[in-house]
Structure 1
């Protein structure tokens, strides 16, 4: 073996395995246990090597079982980018110029669902948890899962909380502003973009059409659920005292009075809304 090849093999043994990303950076995934001191040494050598190559961002994905390697990485200038249940992602910017590492997700997506039967009764629930909304009749709400469309999230949340099968009709409204105060109590502030743990929240209100009617509550989170006359729901203090809730409820009633919720015309609206969602998703992606 030539001396150059031997030198290359020795060098590679001192480096961490990495793959290149599309932005002239590298991604390191450590899956096997490693002594923290050895990891520190390899990381330091690797960063120096990548600097010579003109690389920019360095990402290190560490599974939760290798949490002992976090400290050596932080000592080399890495910082937390985001975490998931099974791993933590750290990142480092090599150039001296301002870094262009994208921020972690800036928003979370939540939904609320208006579901009404042919008797002009809306599906409402009382939650067991949460200081502010506990004991109040409200429409089903929840948070979209990772990679889940808004329409699918609304259908799923209604099914989970009430056992009612539904189909998506359209988006009635969406808005920023569902926030938590310093005590993590749920409040409403239409001007705020700081929701749970400092993340902004986009709240979509969807109209769904029921396909079943027998309620089976999710006992872990839901205290009660019922079909409530629309007019009775509108007069609730919670609705009347909340500007956003009052506004969307009035919009919903207008649609009901115009018979726009249970007619075939809704199918056209459904297709329009789905196209709108695709456009919105593309817009959000372009802003990241």
Structure 2
């Protein structure tokens, strides 16, 4: 097998000062990268007369052995040293900035996840796409050797120009946030077990009743009930990292100015194909008010008031919808102390020691702490 490596003979002579009387033997080991056009290479040049090392070219561990000859330099054997990605027809050109040459010799650093994968968080520093691909391919070569499974690339919005190269290398979108895009690639030749993006959105509705058996209700300026005249519970979406009980307190305060304390979850509903085809979880929370003067959020709320519970429950829209009737009946049973929902119990998880809430129906005759 004979190999032609353009722009490489001069580099050999400059690096080793090889004369006509001392031709080097270049021992090379070659391994295919993720694409057939790229190889990984290990090489060492030694004197044919004295077996003295003249210089080395360093790349990852390799498995494909090649022997050839060019410009009086014979290629044979193998050596494992450092990593260098190269073309199957040419070494990287000797020209170019030293900084780029050093960067091309890199492997992306990342942290291991709990499932045999690796997570790479890119900085926002600009990067040339061709250099990025060179480093990415060398990194994938190493990750395959290490038996990595899923490779996650967290790409800041400043590096959106690298999306296309990533997709061409086999990555696909997983999820997006305002400041970054997460792409992932499954390396093994097995069934992809990477879980999908978040499947549910979580919402809350607040049942707030004062001592006069009046319920706190609002009319919205936007949404499906805009202009309908329907009075509804204050509702909203749980923020990222926010507990359900805290979200209910926040939403009531934002929409009406009323301060409340979470009592319990009375009911919850799951629906599908809701928000951008995602599923939806909606929790009806009973709240205890500690203030009573209403100050509406004018941007979202058209009106708010304390309404007699019977008047609220008798609205035609509620009477015509089965799910709303179930919610009204649960609230009514709670008022009469005939129904108990799910209380929030602050707990510590066993493995991570994180604090979270467990919602359960508390039997007051049972000691759950034993």
TM-score range, shorter chain: 0.7 to 0.9
Whether the 8 Å CA contact 2:245–2:344 is kept in 1: the answer is no
Partner of 1:141: 235
Give the alignment partner of residue 37 of structure 1, picking from 127, 130, 146.
Answer: 130
2:254 aligned with 1:175: no
* Segment of structure 1 superposing worse, 130-139 or 35-44: 130-139
Deviations 1:173-216 (A, max 9, x none): 01112xxxxxxxxxxxxxxx221111111110000000100111
- TM-score scaled by structure 2? 0.65
Root mean square deviation, CA, Å: 2.5
Q: Which of the residues 186, 200, 211 maps onto 2:279?
A: 200
What residue ranges of structure 2 are gaps of 5+ in the alignment?
1-54, 60-80, 86-103, 348-355, 361-370
Deviation at 1:8, TM superposition (A): 2.5
1:59 is matched with which residue? Answer: 152
- Residue 257 of structure 1: how far off its partner (Å): 3.0
Question: 2: distance between equivalents of 1:223 and 1:122?
Answer: 17
1:130 corresponds to: 223
2-structure distance, mates of 1:242, 1:3: 78
Distance 1:42 1:70, change over 3 A: same
For 2:82 and 2:284, how far apart are their aligned partners in 1? 59
Equivalent position of 2:248 in the other structure: 154
The count of corresponding residues between Structure 1 and Structure 2 is 257
* Residue in 2 that maps onto 1:238: 317
* More strand by percentage: 2
Higher relative contact order (CA 8 A, sep 6+): 1
The answer for unaligned runs of 5 or more in structure 1 is: 178-192, 261-265, 282-288
Structure 2: distance between partners of 1:280 and 1:76: 45
Find the counterpart in structure 2 of residue 181 from structure 1: none
| Structure 2 CA distance for aligned equivalents of residues 27 and 137 of structure 1 | 48
1:274 equivalent to 2:345? Answer yes
Quote how far apart the aligned CAs of 1:280 are.
6.4
**Residue of structure 2 equivalent to 1:98:** 191
**Taking structure 1 as the reference length, what is the TM-score of the superposition?**
0.82
1:132, CA displacement in angstroms? Answer: 3.9
Describe how 1:221-232 pairs up with structure 2 within 5 A.
221-232=300-311
